[in-house]
A = this chain, B = another copy of it.
């Protein structure tokens, strides 16, 4: 099973790119990890927030397949400890589905249509981060989950 991190908009900060690349390369030792960054909505700044969410929603949904498990990274989602998250990931990996897709929304969140398509909602923190920082934190947590599942010494409870 592959893990996909799906988001709209590219990371522009070079130091965040470097961090994400580091964790990506570490995750690749355990399973296939795809960091898929879709292009921003054109002329987004001239559009109303609900319109942006609707357009982003359509683009995100077009990426989903019936053989995917779709997980939104959402402030209203369930919070896990890193260890509990690793156990949860392992459970998803054993379902026989093809892809475990984690979706990072834009600054205004997800449209209702995206919520309806999602299998799970997970929150990294009650605090809000930038889209770029969320990608960095998330890739570190996926790497951490892999090391926990393998009993490697990266993580301390």
**B-contacting residues of A (Cβ < 8 Å)?**
13-16, 18-19, 22, 75, 79-82, 85, 107-108, 124-130, 133, 136-137, 140-141, 144, 155-157
Contacts and interface: CB of A to CB of B under 8 A. Distances in A.
Contact of A156 (B126, B128, B144): B128
Contacts of A140: 129-130, 133
Number of copies: 2
B127 A141 contact: yes
Contacts of A127: 79-82, 85, 124-125, 137, 141, 144
Contacts of A80: 126-127
Nearest to A75: B81
Nearest to A141: B127
Nearest to A21: B15
Given A15-B15, A16-B19, A137 B133 contact: yes
A126 B15 contact: no
A126 B144 CA distance: 14
Contact of A79 (B22, B125, B144): B125
Contact of A124 (B15, B18, B125, B157): B125
Q: What 5 A-B pairs are tightest by C-beta distance, nearest first?
A: A125-B125, A15-B18, A15-B15, A82-B128, A79-B126
A96 B150 CA distance: 50
29 contacts: A13-B19, A15-B15, A15-B18, A15-B19, A15-B22, A19-B19, A75-B81, A80-B126, A80-B127, A81-B126, A81-B127, A81-B128, A82-B127, A82-B128, A85-B127, A108-B156, A124-B125, A124-B127, A127-B137, A127-B141, A127-B144, A128-B144, A128-B156, A128-B157, A129-B137, A129-B140, A130-B140, A133-B136, A133-B137
